[in-house]
Amino acid sequence: MDTSSRNYPNHLAYHETLEIHELVAFQSVGLMKMKKSVGEIQDAELRTLYVNSIKALEQNITELLQFFKSAPREDEEFDTRNVGAAFYAGDLLAFFKTAVRNYAIAITETATPVLRETLTKQLQKAIQTHALVYAYMYKKGLYPSYNMEKLLKNDIKNAHMALKMKY
């Protein structure tokens, strides 16, 4: 099978673009959190782990940003956003998205019925909270999920902010 680039379109597939969006958005928020907290860490070994993690995330984000120019696009203006609210709401959204995934996995590993019921109840709460946070972000214009161009521009802006942040 010929896998040369001449057989492929000159842009990413939509599903690839969405996966890169998820990775860059999640890693940018994580990078900002690490940079905000690394100065408070007293343990030298743990601080080294944080610094190495920061450098690894910076490299990951830098590499992934190169693919954004290959994303399918429509030309539109980009809205200025409240960065503080966007950061905290995005962090909350990522937390509950991860919680939903973790609960779903834990439920598949559960043998005890009462524990399964408890985890299922907590999974439903995590899903509901994720929906509330998403609705807040969408209403405030912080997560333009139906506009690929704005979504990617927001990712790029947040990624650059995370990369430029001092620690």
Same domain, 134 and 159: no
Which domain covers residue 128, as residue numbers? 82-143
Question: Could you tell me the pLDDT band of residue 71, with boundaries at 50, 70 and 90?
Answer: confident
Task: Note the pLDDT of residue 5.
Answer: 53
Q: For 83, which DSSP code? A: H
Q: Which residue has the higher pLDDT, 28 or 15?
A: 28
Same domain, 128 and 157: no
Q: Is 109 exposed, middle or buried (0-12, 13-18, 19+ CB in 10 A)?
A: exposed
Task: Please tell me the total count of domains within the chain.
Answer: 2
Task: Note the pLDDT of residue 93.
Answer: 93
For residue 78, which of 159, 140, 151, 150 has the smallest C-alpha distance? 150
Task: Note the pLDDT of residue 83.
Answer: 54
User: Cα–Cα distances in Å, from 152 out to 22, 60, 126, 155?
Assistant: 10, 16, 26, 5
Same domain, 107 and 91: yes
Same domain, 87 and 150: no
Same domain, 3 and 43: yes
Contact 86, 142 (CB under 8 A): yes
Q: State both tokens at 11.
A: 């842009």
Task: Note the pLDDT of residue 24.
Answer: 92
Q: Is the C-alpha dihedral spanning 155, 158, 163, 167 positive or negative? A: negative
pTM: 0.64
Same domain, 149 and 70: yes
CA distance 36 to 39: 7
Same domain, 156 and 75: yes
Q: Is the pLDDT of residue 78 over 80?
A: no
Same domain, 65 and 3: yes
Q: How high is the mean pLDDT of the chain? A: 86
Same domain, 14 and 35: yes
Same domain, 59 and 139: no
